[in-house]
């Protein structure tokens, strides 16, 4: 049986996976990427692995304690772009403004946490829904188009929409970013059942080893992959280059990840009307055993 991996195929963060399969993967069975994410691990046992931001990982783990975060593909300190022409020069100036983001995603967590550093509560501004854009010209309903048409005053989401929004605003663009408050932790997940299956585990180790080799290329030889990434997600190469510095191809994690997840889960628990997951349970969520085998 092929190694089945669920992932959102349209974002920059996913691109190490197809690259790893094509260039480095040497498992005993083929590896296939299909559109999906960590929710598939909870509902469909045919999935062996999945990739998503930590937000979706936490949402699924709260009800499915067999899910494990086994590797970090990419960390992204998200950015928020605002229109200076709307009177915005500091984060505090976003009080009373219309801010674009995507609810129930890592982007909404980011916007809330970033604005909280300026003392702003969610009742102090209006969140507006919209769509991302991967390449200019951006169509109706996308955040770059909304900010250019003054339907919103700012927006925060994953790249490259923020870069395209800043391009649309030109000299009126002002960008806010604080990686110490929020970063996307785009991770690879599996389940205890798959990790405890000896044959499947060998292929999972082989895939993560291939990812490790890929992240070395993405970190140290980015010029060799800009075009590949651009083609994979429908971006212009120049925009891939412009946002590359905001993508940290991490692999492993340090002791700061657990408190970061505890804090985010407490926030998500309130949003989802559930109990927060105990710190001891979140410790089990983080499984370094595959990394240890590389």
**What is the C-alpha separation between 47 and 43, in angstroms, rounded?**
9
Domains of the chain, by residue range, sit at 3-76+184-292, 79-177
Classified as helix, coil or strand, 272 is coil
Q: What pLDDT, on the 0 to 100 scale, is given for residue 1?
A: 87
pLDDT tens for each residue of 157-178: 999 999 999 999 999 999 999 9
Mean pLDDT over 179-184 rounds to 97
Q: What are the pLDDT digits (tens) for 199-225?
A: 999 999 999 999 999 999 999 999 999
First-to-last C-alpha distance (Å) of the chain: 22
Q: For the segment 104-150, what is each residue's pLDDT rounded down to a tens digit?
A: 999 999 999 999 999 999 999 999 999 999 999 999 999 999 999 99
Structure tokens of 245?
A: 């510095």
- The tokens describing 105, both together, are 């995603």
Among 286, 281, 288, which residue's Cα sits nearest to residue 65? 281
Tokens 């499984």: give the residue: 287
What is the total residue count of the chain?
Answer: 294
Q: Which residues contact 166 (CB under 8 A, 6 or more apart)?
A: 81, 173, 175
**What does the pLDDT look like over 223-257, one tens digit per residue?**
999 999 999 999 999 999 999 999 999 999 999 99
Sheet with 49-52, strands from edge to edge, namely 31-35, 3-7, 49-52, 184-191, 67-76
Closest CA to 93 of 51, 144, 153: 153
Distance of CA 56 to the CA centre of its chain: 9
CATH classification (class only), 3-76+184-292: alpha beta
CATH of segment(s) 79-177: 3.40.190.10
Q: How far is CA 97 from CA 57, 84, 133, 151, 231, in A?
A: 30, 12, 22, 10, 36
* 8, 34, 197 from 246: Cα distances, Å: 19, 26, 36
Percent of the chain with pLDDT over 90: 100
Kindly state the average pLDDT of the residues 78-106: 98
CB of 83 closer than 8 Å to CB of 153: yes
pLDDT over 90 (residue 278): yes
């Amino acid at each position: 049986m092929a190694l089945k991996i669920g992932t959102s195929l349209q974002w920059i963060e996913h691109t190490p996976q197809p690259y790893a399969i094509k260039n480095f993967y040497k498992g005993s069975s083929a590896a296939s990427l299909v559109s999906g994410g960590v929710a598939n691990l909870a509902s469909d046992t045919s999935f062996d692995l999945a990739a998503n931001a930590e937000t979706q990982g936490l949402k699924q783990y709260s009800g499915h304690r067999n899910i494990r975060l086994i590797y970090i593909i990419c960390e992204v300190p998200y950015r928020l772009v605002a229109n200076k022409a709307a009177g915005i020069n500091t984060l505090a100036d976003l009080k009373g403004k219309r801010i674009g983001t995507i609810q129930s995603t890592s982007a909404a967590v980011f916007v809330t946490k970033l604005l909280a550093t300026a003392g702003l509560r969610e009742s102090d501004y209006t969140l507006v829904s919209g769509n991302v854009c991967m390449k200019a010209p951006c169509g109706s309903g996308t955040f770059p188009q909304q900010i250019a048409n003054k339907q919103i005053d700012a927006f925060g989401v994953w790249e490259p929409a923020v870069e395209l929004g800043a391009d649309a605003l030109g000299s009126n663009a002002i960008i806010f970013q604080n990686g110490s408050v929020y970063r996307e932790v785009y991770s690879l997940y599996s389940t205890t059942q798959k990790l405890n299956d000896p044959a499947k585990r060998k292929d999972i180790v082989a895939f993560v080893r291939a990812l490790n080799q890929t992240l070395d290329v993405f970190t140290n030889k980015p010029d060799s992959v800009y075009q590949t990434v651009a083609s994979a997600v429908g971006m212009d190469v120049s925009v891939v280059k412009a946002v590359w510095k905001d993508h940290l191809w991490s692999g492993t994690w340090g002791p700061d990840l657990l408190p970061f997840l505890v804090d985010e889960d407490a926030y998500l628990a309130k949003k989802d009307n559930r109990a927060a997951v105990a710190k001891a349970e979140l410790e089990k969520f983080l499984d370094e055993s595959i990394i240890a085998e590389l």
